[in-house]
Amino acid sequence: EIAAALYTGIVTDSGVFKYSSTSPRTMNIAADLIAKGIPFGEIIDGSFYRKTYVQNKIMGLALLNAVENADGTVIYAIISAEEQARMGTVHADLDGISEQLRLTVGVKCAVLCSEMEPGSWKLSLRSLEPIDVAAIAMMYGGGGHVRAAGCTIVGKRPEEIMEEVVRAAEAQMHV
């Protein structure tokens, strides 16, 4: 149980070993934990890939409604509270959508803009170099890491928010 818990922490903190902070030492420790007989595939699937039917439906809606900027480096999706209610989702069902958007070929910055309650929008931002999404989130009082950040914005239309975010990301690419 301890080995499985440690492996889960390593896998989630390293993004399944893909984040730049992953080192050979990280991989060696993970290998030692796997040698203990833990169900490592199940841990990875359960932590990252397995989705409920409702989670897949809301992901599909986000992907269908995704918008790219002119050169395809920034992508975003807006999901209203009404859409979430219609699909029967809770806000946790949106986990992973911004990361899936970021996996789009050519994308450097991905944003999920989801309505928490009328007029309150949560941004979940993910990026690749050279975009620092923590700096973008801080513009709205949020924070996070260079590659993963978030914030909540009240009193603006989602389209207005996304125009500002796209401009901020584009400005970082042209520095």
pLDDT in tens, 25-56: 999 999 999 999 999 999 999 998 999 999 99
Backbone φ, ψ for residue 25 (5° rounding) = -60, -40
Domain 53-173, what fold?
Diaminopimelate Epimerase; Chain A, domain 1 (3.10.310)
CB of 112 closer than 8 Å to CB of 77:
yes
Indicate the pTM of the whole model. 0.88
The chain-wide mean pLDDT, for the chain, equals 95
Enumerate the domain spans of the chain: 2-49, 53-173
Q: 150 pairs with which residues across the strands?
A: 124, 143
Model confidence over 109-143: pLDDT tens digits?
999 999 999 999 999 999 999 999 999 999 999 99
Binned at pLDDT 50, 70 and 90, residue 175 comes out as: low
Res 117: pLDDT: 93
Res 19: pLDDT: 84
